[in-house]
């Protein structure tokens, strides 16, 4: 029967023996708004008709009356590769606030989700969206807002959790494959990794999570997204930090901000990523900012709390060159 449960990952999702997937969170969507919200307007644009994939573009309303170009943020949402969308209230509200604080144009990327579309589909869809964004570099792309208002000399990629993982891999790939024939470099100025979802079968240091039940749960979530992964959570797509086979020296940007939360199970992975990057021979600048007393993606759950506002200040400062 369709009611028989094969995998129960409440409160996130349930998978039934029939193959049906019931997502228990992250399914609500909100429309874009031509009426300013926090001084920001937004619209949805289909960029890949074959897969029916869209992006949501955000713009400070005041930019419509100005001639100047603004930094460009490309944001990739989190959710373990399995839940959430670019159009949920959570991400719509976050991007609206981020654009208002950072005075930038933003493109929020949606991708087909696992387990129906297992890894590497979320990575491939994100790359396709990123390449579409860069079709506007000469001012002759599909979308006027990007042609008119995006400064392609100041492109920042960011994402949280699984989205931060994808962002890392996009910056690595951009160093090997050109996003546009009009580029002389990767085209990416910097990346902001918010509570990045990296993991490994064993702890990366003495402060890392040692609870086997929790470690197995994180691995089980990865295996749901990537059922064909022969190495489990030591897959190099996930084990970016501890794996000796993963070389970060070719990261395709000049500056990195890693944001972590003290009580997050992933906190040591974020610190480890920055340390590995510094030792790799990569020539850029990396900074880590830790939110004390907070847990994974707390800033999305309670965006008006003091620590979330501090995190947004650091996030927006990255666009302005603040340290």
- Tokens for 203? 């702890």
pLDDT, residue 323, reads 45
Beta bridge partners of 5: 16
Q: For position 7, what pLDDT does the model report? A: 84
Please give the torsion angle defined by the CA atoms of residues 199, 203, 206 and 208, in that order, rounded to the nearest 10 degrees. Answer: 40
User: pLDDT for 20-69, tens place per residue?
Assistant: 899 999 999 999 999 999 999 999 999 999 999 999 999 999 999 988 89
Residues forming beta bridges with residue 21, ordered by sequence position: 15
Q: What is the pLDDT of residues 132-178, one digit of tens each?
A: 999 999 999 999 999 999 999 999 999 999 999 999 999 999 999 99
* Catalytic residue chosen out of the listed positions 102, 108, 126, 161: 161
Q: What angle do CA 115, 117, 122 make, to 5 degrees?
A: 105
Provide the mean pLDDT of the chain.
Answer: 95
Long-range contacts of 273-278 (CB under 8 A, 24+ apart): 273/168, 273/193, 273/196, 273/198, 273/240, 273/241, 273/248, 276/241, 276/248, 277/248, 277/251
* Residue 100 · residue 39 · CB < 8 Å: yes
- Contact predicate 194/161, CB 8 Å: yes
pLDDT one-digit tens code per residue, 173-205:
999 999 999 999 999 999 999 999 999 999 999
Section 282-293 average pLDDT: 98
| Tens of pLDDT, residues 95-108 | 999 999 999 999 99
Per-residue pLDDT band for 19 (boundaries 50, 70, 90) equals confident
Q: What is the average pLDDT across 286-312?
A: 98
Q: What percent of the chain has pLDDT over 70?
A: 99
pLDDT for residue 1: 56
**Catalytic-residue membership of 126:** no
Q: Is the model's pLDDT at 242 over the cut of 70?
A: yes
Nearest to 38 by CA among 76, 94, 106: 94
Given a cut of 70, whether residue 322 has pLDDT beyond it is no
Predicted model pTM: 0.97
Residue 127: C-alpha distances to residues 26, 121, 140, 149, 168 (Å) = 23, 10, 20, 22, 12
């Amino acid at each position: 029967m369709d009611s028989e449960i094969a995998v129960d990952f409440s409160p996130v999702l349930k998978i039934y023996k029939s193959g049906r997937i019931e997502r228990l969170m992250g399914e609500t969507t909100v429309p874009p708004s031509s009426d300013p919200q926090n001084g920001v307007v937004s619209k949805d644009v289909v960029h890949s008709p074959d897969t029916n994939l869209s992006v949501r573009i955000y713009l400070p309303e005041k930019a419509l009356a100005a001639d100047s170009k603004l930094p460009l943020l490309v944001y990739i949402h989190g959710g373990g590769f399995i839940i959430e969308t670019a159009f949920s209230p959570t991400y719509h509200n976050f991007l609206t606030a981020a654009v208002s604080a950072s005075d930038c144009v933003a493109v929020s990327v949606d991708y087909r989700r696992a387990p129906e579309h297992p890894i590497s589909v979320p990575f491939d869809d994100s790359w396709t969206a990123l390449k579409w964004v860069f079709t506007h570099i000469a001012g002759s792309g599909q979308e006027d807002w990007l042609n008119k208002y995006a400064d392609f000399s100041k492109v920042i990629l960011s994402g949280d959790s699984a989205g931060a993982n994808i962002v890392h891999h996009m910056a690595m790939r951009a160093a090997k494959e050109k996003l546009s024939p009009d580029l002389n470099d990767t085209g990416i100025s910097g990346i902001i990794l918010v509570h990045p979802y990296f993991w490994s079968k064993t702890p990366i240091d003495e402060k890392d999570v040692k609870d086997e039940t929790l470690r197995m749960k994180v691995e089980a979530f990865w295996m749901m997204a990537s059922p064909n992964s022969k190495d489990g959570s030591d897959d190099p797509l996930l084990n970016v930090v501890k794996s000796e086979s993963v070389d970060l020296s070719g990261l395709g940007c000049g500056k990195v901000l890693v944001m972590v939360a003290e009580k997050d199970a992933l906190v040591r992975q974020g610190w480890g990523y920055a340390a590995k990057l510094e030792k790799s021979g990569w020539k850029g600048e990396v900074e880590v900012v830790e939110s004390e007393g907070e847990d994974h993606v707390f800033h999305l759950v309670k965006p008006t709390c003091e620590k979330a506002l501090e995190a947004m200040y650091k996030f927006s400062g990255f666009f302005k060159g603040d340290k």
